[in-house]
């Protein structure tokens, strides 16, 4: 099977690699971020540092009094950050917003079971939930939601009559003009755009964990069992997603991918393998 290679994108500088990587992401503006904590820091309330790499240059933002045990990180347009705990806890803010100096500003709750947290260019937060949240928390029940950075609800997915309710958001892509979700069990492609009802297309792909979209092209990455390193190149029609080709996704050196995380931003798939110190990218617009 033909292979398509990722390209190197961003790397955590070596002096920071002695710290514990709590989470890492690539934001709506293409900046890579790592949330780090000292190995001996307490688990429940701790100071952390965000190392940002932009155009190959690193800089730090120190965050004080972080509460998240299972953190998800993203950046805000004003230079601040949001840190969300995947699981809710009574008596603590699930989502903490930090200003550009790293000071806690305010907090709120968006629902238990966060699988994906992606901010857009306006600062809204798109959240995809896994099944324990969908079935266990009314805030998470829609499976995919959008919140303002102050915690106000902006959008939620509502199935149309005859559509099955999604129970686990496998992949989420947030671009400048649209968000795309790909949930279990039917694995449709849900397109959300401001001012329009959600558009749902059936797909031939099962179990993918990432997707990239450019024009009428959509590429799914991953799958069950032997399909974990596969990319499915597809074409968007008015009502469906049609398969065009299948390939293998490989490391920049051509090697086989191991266990990895994916961040999806429009036409780009950002892929990170353990120990989570490097990001590679596949750009279908290029």
The CATH superfamily label for domain 3-283 reads TolB, C-terminal domain (2.120.10.30)
% of residues, the chain, pLDDT over 90: 91
Question: How confident is the model at residue 183, as a pLDDT?
Answer: 98
Instruction: Name the nearest CA neighbour of 31 among 14, 12, 16, 49.
Output: 12
Domain spans in the chain, listed from the N-terminal domain onward: 3-283
Residue 195 has pLDDT above 80, yes or no: no
Give me the pLDDT at residue 21, please.
Answer: 97
Confidence of residue 160 (pLDDT cuts 50, 70, 90): confident
Which comes out higher in pLDDT, residue 177 or 182? Answer: 182
Is residue 2 predicted with pLDDT exceeding 90? no
pLDDT at 150 over 90: yes
Q: In what order do the strands lie in the sheet with 179-184?
A: 7-11, 278-283, 268-273, 260-265, 168-174, 179-184, 189-192, 199-201
What was the pLDDT predicted at 98?
98
Per-residue model confidence (pLDDT) at position 161:
85
């Amino acid at each position: 099977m033909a292979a398509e290679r990722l390209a190197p994108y961003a790397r955590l500088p070596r002096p920071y690699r002695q710290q514990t990587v709590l989470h890492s992401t690539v934001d709506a503006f293409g900046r890579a971020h790592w949330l780090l904590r000292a190995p001996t820091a307490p688990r429940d309330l701790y100071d952390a540092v965000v190392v940002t790499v932009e155009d190959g240059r690193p800089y730090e933002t120190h965050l004080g009094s972080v509460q998240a045990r299972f953190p998800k990180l993203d950046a805000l347009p004003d230079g601040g950050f949001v840190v969300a705990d995947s699981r809710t806890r009574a008596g603590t803010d699930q989502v903490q917003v930090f200003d550009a100096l790293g000071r806690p500003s305010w907090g709120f709750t968006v629902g238990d079971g966060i699988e994906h947290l992606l901010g857009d260019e306006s600062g809204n937060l798109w959240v995809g939930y896994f099944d324990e949240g969908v079935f266990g928390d009314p805030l998470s029940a829609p499976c995919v939601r959008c919140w303002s950075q102050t915690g106000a609800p902006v959008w939620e997915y509502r199935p149309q009559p005859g559509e099955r309710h999604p129970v686990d958001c496998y992949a989420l892509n947030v671009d400048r003009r649209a968000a795309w979700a790909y949930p279990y069990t039917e694995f449709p492609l849900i397109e959300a755009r401001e001012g329009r009802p959600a558009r749902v297309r059936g797909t031939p792909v099962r179990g993918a964990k990432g997707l990239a979209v450019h024009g009428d092209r959509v590429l799914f990455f991953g799958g069950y069992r032997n399909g974990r390193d596969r990319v499915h190149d597809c074409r968007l029609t008015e009502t469906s997603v049609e398969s065009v080709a299948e390939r293998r996704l490989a490391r920049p050196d051509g090697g086989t991918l191991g266990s990895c995380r994916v961040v999806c931003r429009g036409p780009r798939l950002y892929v990170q393998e353990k120990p989570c110190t490097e990001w590679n990218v596949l750009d279908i617009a290029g």
